[in-house]
Amino acid sequence: MLKKSIRHDWQLTEILELFQLPLNDLIFMAQSVHRANFNPNQVQLSTLLNIKAGACSEDCGYCSQSARFKTELERQPLMAVETIIAEAKQAKANGASRFCMGAAWRNPKTKDFEKILEIIQLVKAEGLETCMTLGMLDAKQAQQLREAGLDYYNHNLDTSAAYYEKIVSTHTYQDRLDTLTNVRKVNLKICCGGIIGMGESLQDRAELLQTLANLEIHPESVPINQLVPVAGTPLENTEKLDPFAIVRCIAVARILMPTSNVRLSAGRAGMNDELQALCFLAGANSVFYGEKLLTTDNQSTRNDQQLFKRLGIVTSYE
């Protein structure tokens, strides 16, 4: 496939056919697309910091931060600016090129928003790209984030529209799409993907990727997360995902969205080096880098550095 073969009219039958290809054929196709658009031996590193933990009013069934579930997560108010900047400096020293910050809100409140804008400006001043995930945004908030210098806004769709109501009831799929619209209208880049392993069908995964790939502009970053079951949440006893399912999902995402960064995200702590290498072969070219994601463990930076060296992978920061 050539670099210019970007489509926004993918049919569900086409995507299901990709998912059902023999794994070798699917990976070969995905790697061919990847090589046409990226350095196949380069990975972008993002570090994610939870700047406000717990007490969220929403009922996302996978999330330890919902106030509706009894989890062991300790609630934490919005971090001090100085603490966040110190974390950003450390992330940069460790090799990250993007600093992503998450706050467990349905949507940001006015009393916190000025501080958020200040944080963006200060992190940018450290020479890092900035990304925020703050819940749903209205048009004015999106514009303010853009003016503060935000580069990316993360707002995942999680799953298909059909399966979504089995995961979340406190807001709708359209609410999420509306936030993406508000973000895109002010020319912010979008980080948007989903979670697999929540009990969804193969068709649900295909429909999720279809929705992303048929947006007017593909998300610049597409995180593919595996469910990390958290005790106390409705999905704590969900059946473990077949490891090859994540490889297939990454490969199909790469084919559908050739110029997007496809990020190997939550669940990576439970993956061995061989499975991660297979994901890179299938088209993943970004990872969350650092010991912790929002609330779950991640691969250590030491392990990542060793793996990249063994695979001959360089980072976009180098």
Catalogue the active-site residues. 56, 60, 63, 100, 131, 191, 263
Residue 309 exposure: Cα atoms within 13 Å on the Cβ side: 6
What angle do the packed helices 243-256 and 273-281 form, to 10 degrees?
A: 20
Residue 39 exposure: Cα atoms within 13 Å on the Cβ side: 10
C-alpha separations of 163 from 86, 204, 214, 245 in Å: 40, 7, 18, 18
Q: Which bin fits 40, alpha (ψ -120 to 50), beta or left (φ > 0)?
A: alpha
Closest by Cα among 79, 186, 189 to 141: 186
Phi, psi of 248 (to 5 degrees): -65, -40
Distance CA 142, CA 211 (A): 22
**β-pairing, 286-288 with 42-52?**
parallel
3-state DSSP assignment of residue 103: strand
Q: Are 195 and 228 in contact (CB under 8 A)?
A: no
Distance CA 152, CA 184 (A): 10
